[in-house]
Every structure is written in C-alpha cells, then in structure tokens.
C-alpha cells in the first residue's frame, strides 16, 4: 500500500511543513484578499453600509464556529486513522461527516432566520443601519448549510493531506464572490475605457447584493468540494453507495474534540458580540473603524490558519503512526516558521497602515482612527498567531481543554472587562478598545509559548518516548 500519510512529504520537518502548508496559506491569503475587496466594495457605499455588515460579523463567526468545531473533531479522527493506516475507518468517518454536517447546517439556517429581525436591535445598532443589517444576515443565513459543508469538507481533505483541492476551489469561489459583488451591489452604470464607453448592468442591491454574492459563492464551493470527495484521488475517496448513518462510537470520538472546540469558539464569539455591543455604544464610526481594521488585519492572521490546519494534520498523523519524535519536531517547526512569516508580514503593514486603510474608505475620521487601530493589530499579531497555531497543534493531539480555558480567560478577563472600563469610565473610545484587544492576544501568545515548551499538550502515552521540546 502506498503511504497514506504526509509525514515524509519533505526531507526535513521544515520542508514537510512548508510543502503541506503553502496551498493552505495561499488559500487563506486569497480568502483575505477577497474579503478585503468585498469590504472595499461595501465601504464605498459609506460608513453606515460598513456598520450594517460589521454588526453581524461576530454572530456569523459564532454560528460558523459550530461547523468549525465539527470539522475539528472529524479532522482529528481522520488524521489519526490515516496515521494508523485504517483507511476504511477514515472513509466511514467522511460519510458520517457528510450526514452530521447537513443536519447541523439546516439547524444553523433555522436559527439565523429566526433571529434576523432582532439581531441588530439586540446589539444596539443605530436605526439607520437596521434594514440593511437585517437583510444581510437573513440572506447569509440561507447559505449556512453550504458554508457548513464547505468548512467540513475542506478540513477533511486537509486531514488527508490534500491542501491543493481546497485552494483551487477557493480561487473559484472568491472569483464568483467578487464578480457577484460587481453586478449586485451597484446600479447600472457607464464604464469608460479610453474614448469608448459602455453600459454595465447592476442590480443596485447595496449591502444585500454583497450577501447574495457571498451566499452564491458558498454554494459553488460546496458543490465542487462534494464532487472532489467522490472523484479526486485521495486516501479518503468515496463511492456514492455506502453507509451514511451516524454511529455512536465514531460520533463520540468526534464530539470529544468538537465539544471543547465549540465551547472555545462560542466563548470567543460571544466575547466578540459583547465587544460589538460596546463598539455600538461608541457609535457608527467606531463600528466601521473596527470592521476595516479587522479586515485589514486578516491579511496578517489568516495565513496562520494555514499553518494551524497543517498542524492538526501533521500532529494527528504522527501521533497515529506513533512517530513521537516527528510530533515534537513538527510542533516546534510550526511555531518557528509561523513567527518568521508573521514578522515579515506585519512590519510593512505597521509602516503603511494609513495608506492601507485609505484604500477602503474616503472618510478622513475613519482613516485616522483606522490606521492607529491597524498599527496596534500589526504590533501584536505575531503573538496572536501563536494561539492560532497552538490551537491546530492541540486539535491534532486531542488537548482541547487548554485552548478552551485560555480563550475563556483571555476574551472575558483580558479583553471585554478592560474594554468596558476603558470605554465607559475613561472614555478612550475605539483606540482604547483596540488596545484592550492587543493586550489580550499578547498575553495568550506568551502563554502558548510556555505550553509548547512544557510538552503537556501531548497525550500521556507519548511520555515513554521521552521526547521533550527544548
């Protein structure tokens, strides 16, 4: 049997990490760029349009977090199964993942549609953004099933060591989203090229047009990923015929990972929702500034999710194969490479923060505040991304309680409480809030370094190997 793992993809741990990670990093960068283009298109409509999207973002992250948690559980099972050379069991896990995700996606769709009339009001949004905000979240809700399948199927392919298929499909999906924005957000207009002009159709749907384009792109990526599961030559390639029933034994293994990950994501997202409410109390400009700074920040942190995805695969497969020295080497290498990558990326963003923010809004006040917020993000990003990579390592090893505890303490004790005090007692506004966020992620990043060095993230059965990270 050919090797079904990716443990020997390169001659050294570093080359293995880079070969496995570059498609995932490229994919995350494309997601970031498409998101920035999407933000720029919406922001051109004004701060109110930006705020109408921003007030929904934390809730969308919360709901998508359940799909991410489910994908983490199945990634763990599939990566370990392939490391143990249990290919048949891995394929069964894929079929059960499809069934579980469809059920979850339908539940999430129902939740969104029920809450859509009330969410903007609950979060303290201004009356001027209510209709746009409600329309945006309702349209996104109809695509939750497809988004859930996209998240889980992409993770399954990565757990099997194939990061190129999700990359290719993501390129197509992003193009669909951008083209959809071009025709759906704006009205019919004249385009001038040299001495020639021609009319371009536009639906003039504004914020709703952005939501329709995003939802359609999710449908496209979902269909292509489903096809790939059945036709692509991967270790987990399926036949259409098979048993798709959910079994108690396999689901219990998945949920041991998924429940803590879901709790972690829920804590983070409720924290973000609480932060959104604090931002709403400061005003529409504060919401717009935070949204733009976060979107620009995604240039920095999304590549770390590529390393985190590779971490789950490499740690899971090496533990399954009982190659514990490789487990240690991969973990240490991931931290080092991620740090080098992030510093190289964050320095120019820090320097040119004002120029970057000005690409997305004509508002002088938004540019001035947004550039300061982006500098804070750039300065703290290398430490923040260590928590992302550590999360991937922990999901591969099954150490899911540590990220949960770290996230709970960080988001509420180090972020929300200081942000509330800064805003309501000292009246520092949006910059004070961004400083609180930077403090939170910096402390968590330092704790992750200590956790990696301690070796406590590894399962107890690896102790006999006497492998410690120096």
Instruction: Tell me the pLDDT band of 463, cut-offs 50, 70 and 90.
Output: low
Instruction: Tell me the pLDDT band of 97, cut-offs 50, 70 and 90.
Output: very high
Measured CA to CA in angstroms, residue 224 lies from 158, 169, 219, 329, 386 at distances of 15, 7, 9, 35, 32
In a domain, 431, yes or no: yes
Q: Are 224 and 169 in contact (CB under 8 A)?
A: yes
Alpha-carbon distance of 61 to 40, in angstroms, equals 20
Domain boundaries, position 155: 13-465
Burial of 230: CB neighbours in 10 Å, binned 0-12, 13-18, 19+? exposed
Alpha-carbon distance of 412 to 118, in angstroms, equals 24
* Tally of domains in the chain: 1
Could you report the per-residue pLDDT of 239-266, keeping only the tens digit for each?
999 999 999 999 999 999 999 999 988 8
pLDDT at 460: 77
Could you report the per-residue pLDDT of 45-83, keeping only the tens digit for each?
888 888 888 788 878 888 898 999 999 999 999 999 999
Could you report the per-residue pLDDT of 136-182, keeping only the tens digit for each?
999 999 999 999 999 999 999 999 989 899 999 999 998 999 899 88
In a domain, 28, yes or no: yes
Q: Are 66 and 108 in contact (CB under 8 A)?
A: yes
In a domain, 4, yes or no: no
In a domain, 6, yes or no: no
pLDDT at 469: 39
3-state SS class at 188: strand
pLDDT for 341 beyond 80: yes
In a domain, 338, yes or no: yes
pLDDT, mean of residues 443-459:
94
In a domain, 149, yes or no: yes
- The DSSP bridge partners found for residue 191 are 198
Instruction: Tell me the pLDDT band of 115, cut-offs 50, 70 and 90.
Output: very high
pLDDT for 408 beyond 70: yes
pLDDT, mean of residues 395-403:
92
Higher pLDDT, 13 or 278: 13
pLDDT, mean of residues 86-100:
96
Burial of 197: CB neighbours in 10 Å, binned 0-12, 13-18, 19+? exposed
- The DSSP bridge partners found for residue 192 are 197
pLDDT at 125: 81
Across all residues in the chain, what is the average pLDDT? 88
In a domain, 8, yes or no: no
pLDDT, mean of residues 419-425:
83
pLDDT for 470 beyond 60: no
pLDDT for 1 beyond 70: no
pLDDT, mean of residues 367-381:
89
In a domain, 164, yes or no: yes
Structure tokens at 45: 């409509």
Instruction: Tell me the pLDDT band of 2, cut-offs 50, 70 and 90.
Output: low
Instruction: Tell me the pLDDT band of 198, cut-offs 50, 70 and 90.
Output: confident
Q: What percent of the chain has pLDDT over 70?
A: 97
Higher pLDDT, 2 or 445: 445
């Amino acid at each position: 049997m050919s090797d079904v793992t990716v443990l020997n993809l390169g001659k050294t741990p570093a080359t293995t990490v880079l070969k496995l990670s570059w498609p995932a990093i490229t994919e995350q960068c494309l997601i970031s760029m498409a998101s920035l283009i999407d933000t720029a298109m919406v922001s051109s409509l004004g701060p109110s349009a930006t705020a109408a999207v921003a007030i929904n973002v934390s809730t969308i992250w919360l709901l998508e977090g359940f799909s991410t948690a489910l994908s983490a559980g199945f990634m763990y099972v599939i990566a370990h199964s392939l490391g143990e050379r249990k290919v048949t069991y891995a394929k069964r896990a894929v079929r059960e993942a499809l069934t579980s995700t469809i059920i979850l996606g339908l539940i999430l769709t129902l939740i969104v549609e029920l809450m859509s009339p009330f969410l903007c009001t609950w979060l303290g949004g201004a009356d001027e953004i209510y209709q746009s905000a409600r329309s945006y979240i309702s349209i996104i809700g109809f695509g939750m099933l497809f988004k859930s399948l996209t998240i889980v199927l992409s993770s399954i392919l990565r757990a099997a060591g194939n990061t190129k298929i999700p990359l290719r499909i993501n390129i197509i999906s992003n193009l669909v989203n951008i083209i959809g924005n071009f025709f759906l957000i704006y009205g019919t207009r004249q385009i001038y090229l040299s001495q020639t002009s021609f009319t371009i159709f536009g639906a003039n749907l504004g914020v709703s047009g952005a939501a329709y384009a995003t939802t359609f792109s999710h449908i496209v990526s979902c269909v292509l990923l489903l096809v790939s599961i059945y036709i692509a030559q991967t270790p987990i390639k399926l036949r259409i015929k098979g048993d798709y029933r959910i079994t108690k034994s396999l689901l219990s293994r998945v949920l041991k990972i998924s429940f803590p990950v879901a709790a972690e994501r829920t804590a983070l997202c409720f924290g973000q929702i609480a932060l959104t409410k604090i931002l709403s109390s400061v005003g529409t400009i504060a919401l717009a500034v935070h949204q733009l700074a976060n979107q620009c920040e995604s240039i920095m942190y999304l590549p770390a999710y590529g390393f985190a995805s590779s971490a789950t695969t490499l740690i899971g497969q090496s533990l399954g194969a009982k190659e514990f020295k490789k487990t240690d080497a991969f973990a240490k290498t991931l931290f080092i490479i991620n740090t080098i990558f992030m510093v190289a990326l964050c320095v120019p963003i820090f320097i040119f923060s004002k120029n970057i923010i000005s690409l997305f809004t004509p508002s002088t006040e938004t540019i001035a505040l947004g550039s300061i917020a982006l500098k804070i993000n750039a300065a703290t990003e290398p430490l923040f991304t260590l928590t992302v990579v550590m999360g991937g390592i922990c999901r591969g090893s099954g150490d899911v309680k540590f990220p949960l505890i770290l996230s709970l303490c960080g988001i509420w004790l180090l972020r929300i409480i200081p942000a509330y005090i800064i805003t309501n007692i000292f009246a520092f506004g949006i910059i004070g809030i961004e400083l609180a966020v930077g403090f939170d992620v910096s402390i968590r990043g330092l704790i992750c370094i200590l956790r990696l060095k301690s070796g406590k993230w590894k399962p107890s059965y690896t102790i006999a190997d006497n492998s410690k990270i120096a």
